[in-house]
Structure 1
């Protein structure tokens, strides 16, 4: 496994847009998938709010997508989205990809805390977040679904 992040550019844009979190989503064009907003949604959100959009690769194979940056509405650094394509789930990528995104944020922003929200019943994602040290804040982000907010404290 040789994970790396790359910017979303004209060269990989369509591949990132076509990456889906579940097989049944591949035939649909929609803003929200079951567990995550579509990559289309988060790339658009990033263009408006100045978030950085990152493609996640294992070598030359695109396996996922993440978006992060400063959330002006809450005055904090947030990982806005992270997803793995359905063909790459359950293969040991989750924690490693998440750590890669956290390391990128820490290096890029020199931040001491990172926040995210997750659909309340996405137990698999919550287990990964908690395994890497995220803790529930008690806050609930009201989006398409109620989303509990989690915080990661950077150890320096």
Structure 2
């Protein structure tokens, strides 16, 4: 069973030890950078992804202060736990968490167009490219 839990002093180092495959590192910021970002952007909510009591990944979402929309800023599954459905389940859980705010009806994220597995994951969840590009990332949106 997958659960999303806050990052705390009790699980910080475990979270910092997570890593993607070396060939995926250019597609996602490190968990250390993401957690640091959440300290200076308090709208960012970093969460650990657990399978039972084992931390298997990390995600961070926010209600962006610039455009007042929900964004999934990060989603990573440690290379030891990839291809087991954990990313899919974590994505579905964060989507449902965001949908709890009935004042919004869209979720955005950015993805590198060369990251085919990430694009497949997001498209399976209903995200579509909207034509926007920010740096190396192409924006996808889920409208609900």
- The 5 Å alignment of 1:15-26 reads 15-22=14-21, 24=22
What is the rounded CA distance, in whole Å, between the counterparts of 1:6 and 1:148 in structure 2?
A: 28
- Give the structure 1 partner of residue 13 of structure 2: 14
Q: TM-score, normalised by structure 1?
A: 0.85
What is the rounded CA distance, in whole Å, between the counterparts of 2:108 and 2:14 in structure 1?
A: 27
* CA displacement 1:1-45 (0-9 Å, x = unmatched): x010000000000111110012x49xxxxxx92221000111111
Q: Report the number of matched residues.
A: 142
RMSD (CA atoms): 1.6
Question: Which has the higher mean CA deviation after the structures are superposed, 120-129 or 98-107?
Answer: 98-107
Q: TM-score, normalised by structure 2?
A: 0.92
Runs of 4+ residues deviating >4 angstroms: none
- The 5 Å alignment of 1:1-156 reads 2-22=1-21, 24=22, 33-50=25-42, 51-107=44-100, 109-110=101-102, 111-142=104-135, 146-154=136-144
Which blocks of at least 5 consecutive residues in structure 2 are unaligned? none
